[in-house]
Amino acid sequence: MLGTSEVFAPGGVLEARLKGYEVRDGQRQMAEAVASAIARRSILLAEAGTGTGKTFAYCVPAILSGKRVIISTATKNLQDQIAQRDLPRLCEALGVNARISVLKGRQNYLCLHRLDRVARQPSLRFRGKNETLDEIAEWSATTTTGDRAELRTLPDDYMPWRELDARSDICLGPRCPRYDACFVTRARQAASAAEIVVVNHYLFFADLALRQQPNVETTVLPAYDVVIFDEAHALEEAVTDHFGVSFSETRAGELTKDVLQALDDELVPGEPLIRAALAETPMALGRLFHEIGDAPGSSRALPKAREPMKEAANDVAQAFSGLAKAIEDGARGPAWDALAMRAEKLAREVAFVFAPDADDAMPFARMIEQRSRSRQIRALPLDVGGVLRNTIFDDGSTIVLTSATLSVGGDFSVLRDRLGIETAEELVVESPFDYRTQALVYVPSTFPEPSAPAYAEALSERLLALNDAAKGGAFFLFTSHAQLDRQAQALTPLLRQRGHLVFKQGDAPKHVLIEDFARDGSAVLFASASFWEGVDVPGDALRLVCIDKLPFASPTDPLLAARIAEVERQGESAFASHQLAPAVIALRQGFGRLIRTAGDRGVVAVLDVRLRTKSYGRKFLGALPPAPKTASLDDVRAFFSADSFAASASPRG
C-alpha cells in the first residue's frame, strides 16, 4: 500500500502522474502529520501558509486511510473545488476508487414538490421574477443534483428561491409525493454510501446540534472516523449559530402565508378555528416588539426582561402553540402536520429566547437584530468551547483543523481556548512564496484615523492614487457595507473615466464577479467581509489589495460585548483573545488574497494609521508575511513601474 511520504516525494506518485505538480516540502510535512493524526486518532492543529498545497496534503491521507472521512469547509466554493476537482484527480493518480459525495445545507437544493405547487397555482408565481422562474423549471428537468450553484446566473439575493428550496421546516419527508426524486434524499443516500463526504461547517454543526437533541433517530451525516476542518478559523461562528436559538418575523410571516395558502387549497373541518388562532399571532408579535422597542438596521442586546415583556413573549409562545393545536385538531395530512410542527417550533424558540439561563455553565447572549424586512431575536452561546469539548473533541475521532491563519505569531493558545481544545498536536508550515520580492505592504504614516471626520474623503483620494499606480487589477476591501457603498459611489465614475470595469459585491453571484474580474485584467472590485477569504485570483489580474481599516469587530456587537463581559467577570482581560486575535487573523486573510502563486506580485495597502501609532499595531505587522513595508506612495509607484512587473501586469482587457 502507498505511504504518504512516497506519494509526495521527488519522483513520487503525484509528480509522476499529475501534470504540472510541483514537489513542496511543506506539503509533504503536513501530509505526514495528517496521516499520523489519523493513525493515532488524535487532534491536529495545522497552519499551512498560502501556497503550501494544504488541500492535497490532507486529501491524500484521507483517501489512503480507508476510513470514513468528513471534509468540512467554510465556503461552498472550496467545497465544490475539493469534491469536483481535487479529490477525483487524486483518486485517479493514487489508483484508489473512493466514493465521494457532497452535502450542502437544504436551502441550497430545489424542492420539486414546491416547484410543482408553484407551477400549478399562478397565484404563487412571483411578479417580475417569472423569467428566472421559468429557467429554474427548465433546469429542474435536467439537473441530477438540484444544487442552485449550477444556476450560474441566479443572483445570491433572488428572494423567490425561498419559495422553492428544500429547507427542513417545510419538508414532508417520506410522505412527500416527490420523495423518491428528492434531491436532498438522493444526496443523503449518496453520502451514506461514500468513503469521503464533503460538507460545509454550517451543515456539520447543524447535524451536530441535531444529534444533541433527545429522541433523534435520523441525522444528516453518516457515522465517521475522521473530520478534517479546512478554513478552521471560521469554526467558532458556525458553532455559535447552530447551538443558538433564534425567532424571526420572516419565519413567522412565512408560516402565516403557508397556512392561509393551505386553507385556500382545500376545505378542512377546523378552518374557523385555524383562522381564529392564526389571527392571534400578529397581534401577539406586535405587542412583543413594542415592548422590546425598535432600532432599525442594527443589532443590539435584548433589553432586560421586564414583566410586560415577559408577558408579551409568553403570549407569543401561547399564540403559536394555540395555532399548532388548532391545526392538529382541525386538519389532516402530511402538509398540515408539517405546518403544526413549524408553529410549535416557533413557540419553543420564543420561549427559550426569553427564558433565564437554566445552566450557568452554558450562558447565552440575547439580542435583537433588525433589518429592512424583518426582526430576529436570538440567544447565542457565549462559550462554544464547552459544546465542542463535550462532543467532537471527546468522541475518539481524528480531528484535523487547518487554515492559512489559525495562530497569532505561531501561538495557537487563543484558538485552543476559544474552541475548548485541551490536548492537540500543532504544526506551522510557512508559505513557500518569496514575499520579500513578490509583495510590498503600504501603510501611510500620516493619515486620518478611521474615526476622524476627514477619513472617508482621504480614503477616496488614497484609493484612487493607489489604483492609478497599479493601473487597475484592484480589490478594495471594506470592513463595513456603509463604507463600501460610500466609496463605490464616490469612485466608480472616476474609475470608469480611467477605462476600468468596476464591480461591486451583490451585483451578481460571487463566483460570477470573480470570473469577470479575472477575465478583464484591469478591473476594480468593491467588496466587504465575504471577499476577504475563499477568493482566488491568481496571476496579474489582481495586483493591488486595499484594506480600509483594521478588521476589529464592532464594539457595539452584542455577542462580542457579552463575551467580553463574561471574560472580565472572571477577572481576565478579553482584548487579546476576543478582539485583537480575531482581527489579526482577519487581516492575514485579507492579505492572502494577493499572492496565490509563485509568479504573483503586488501591493497590499492597509489605510489605517493605527498600524503605526498604536502599540498593538506591531502584532498585526508581525503576523503578516515578511514583505517589505513602506509609507511612501513613491515606493508603490516604483514597485508597479518596475520593468519586470510592468511586463507581467499589463491589462488584458
Alpha helices of 227-384 — where are they, by DSSP H? 235-242, 249-265, 271-292, 307-330, 334-353
User: Are 421 and 443 members of one domain?
Assistant: no
Whole-number pLDDT of residue 650 = 44
Share of the chain above pLDDT 90, in %: 64
SS3 76: helix
The residue-averaged pLDDT of 273-280 equals: 95
Is 57 part of any domain? yes
Name the pLDDT band for 187 (thresholds 50, 70, 90): very high
Q: Which of 68-72, 215-219, 386-390 bottoms out in mean pLDDT, i.e. has the lowest?
A: 215-219
Distance CA(321)–CA(334), nearest Å, equals 18
Q: What string of H, E and C letters represents the secondary structure of 487-552? A: HHHHHHHHHHHCCCCEEECCCCCHHHHHHHHHHHCCCEEEECHHHCCCCCCCCCCCCEEEECCCCC
Q: Is 574 exposed, middle or buried (0-12, 13-18, 19+ CB in 10 A)?
A: middle
**Per-residue buried b or exposed e for 391-411, using 16+ beta carbons within 10 Å of the residue's own CB:** bbbeeebbbbbbbbbbbbeee
Residue 651 pLDDT > 50: no
Whole-number pLDDT of residue 652 = 36
Say how many domains are in the chain: 4
Is 141 part of any domain? yes
- Residue 413 phi, psi (nearest 5): -60, -40
User: Are 162 and 208 members of one domain?
Assistant: no
User: Are 356 and 290 members of one domain?
Assistant: yes
**Domain span holding position 77:** 4-99+194-242+384-429
Ordered DSSP codes for 544-611: EEEE-S--PPPTT-HHHHHHHHHHHHTT---IIIIIIHHHHHHHHHHHTTT--STT--EEEEE--THH
Whole-number pLDDT of residue 546 = 97
Is 183 part of any domain? no
User: Are 465 and 497 members of one domain?
Assistant: yes
Distance CA(392)–CA(383), nearest Å, equals 15
User: Are 484 and 564 members of one domain?
Assistant: yes
Average pLDDT, the chain: 89
Distance CA(547)–CA(267), nearest Å, equals 59
User: Are 227 and 285 members of one domain?
Assistant: no
Higher-confidence residue: 595 or 132? 595
Instruction: Compute CA distances 444 → 448, 466, 520, 525, 631, whole Å.
Output: 10, 12, 29, 22, 5
User: Are 451 and 396 members of one domain?
Assistant: no
Task: Identify the domain boundary among 362, 380, 398.
Answer: 380
Contact 117, 123 (CB under 8 A): no
User: Are 340 and 396 members of one domain?
Assistant: no
Whole-number pLDDT of residue 96 = 94
pLDDT digits (tens, 9 = 90+) for 434-464: 999 999 999 999 999 999 999 999 999 999 9
Q: Which of 240-244, 301-305, 505-509, 615-619 bottoms out in mean pLDDT, i.e. has the lowest?
A: 301-305
Instruction: Compute CA distances 317 → 58, 243, 321, 450, whole Å.
Output: 47, 20, 6, 44
Contact 367, 292 (CB under 8 A): no
Residue 136 pLDDT > 50: yes
User: For the whole model, what pTM was predicted?
Assistant: 0.88
Q: How far apart are the first and last CA of the chain?
A: 50
pLDDT digits (tens, 9 = 90+) for 343-390: 999 999 999 998 876 555 568 999 998 876 788 999 999 989 988 988
Query: What's 456's DSSP letter?
Result: H
Distance CA(45)–CA(398), nearest Å, equals 11
User: Are 255 and 336 members of one domain?
Assistant: yes
Is 184 part of any domain? no
Distance CA(198)–CA(63), nearest Å, equals 13
Is 182 part of any domain? no
Strand-pair partners of 274: none
Distance CA(441)–CA(457), nearest Å, equals 22
Cell of 582: 480575531
Name the pLDDT band for 218 (thresholds 50, 70, 90): low
Higher-confidence residue: 305 or 332? 332
Give me the torsion for CA of 437, 439, 442, 443, rounded to 10°: -100
Whole-number pLDDT of residue 496 = 97
User: Are 372 and 487 members of one domain?
Assistant: no
**CATH number for position 86:** 3.40.50.300
User: Are 213 and 356 members of one domain?
Assistant: no
SS3 420: coil
User: Are 237 and 260 members of one domain?
Assistant: no
Name the pLDDT band for 609 (thresholds 50, 70, 90): very high
SS3 136: helix
Q: Which of 507-516, 517-526, 529-538, 592-601 bottoms out in mean pLDDT, i.e. has the lowest?
A: 529-538
Task: Identify the domain boundary among 340, 364, 380.
Answer: 380
CA angle 250, 533, 166 (to 5 degrees): 35
- Identity of the highest mean pLDDT range in 450-454, 506-510, 644-648: 450-454
Whole-number pLDDT of residue 133 = 78
Is 232 part of any domain? yes
Distance CA(428)–CA(415), nearest Å, equals 14
Whole-number pLDDT of residue 141 = 92
Q: Which of 239-243, 367-371, 435-439, 575-579 bottoms out in mean pLDDT, i.e. has the lowest?
A: 367-371
Distance CA(346)–CA(344), nearest Å, equals 5
Is 273 part of any domain? yes
Cell of 212: 444533541
Higher-confidence residue: 631 or 310? 631
Task: Identify the domain boundary among 365, 380, 395.
Answer: 380
Whole-number pLDDT of residue 110 = 94
Residue 10 pLDDT > 60: yes
Cell of 494: 472616476
Residue 649 pLDDT > 50: no
Is 615 part of any domain? yes
The residue-averaged pLDDT of 124-144 equals: 75
Residues with Cβ within 8 Å of residue 45, at least 6 apart in sequence: 401, 402, 406, 407, 412, 415, 416, 421, 424, 425, 426, 427
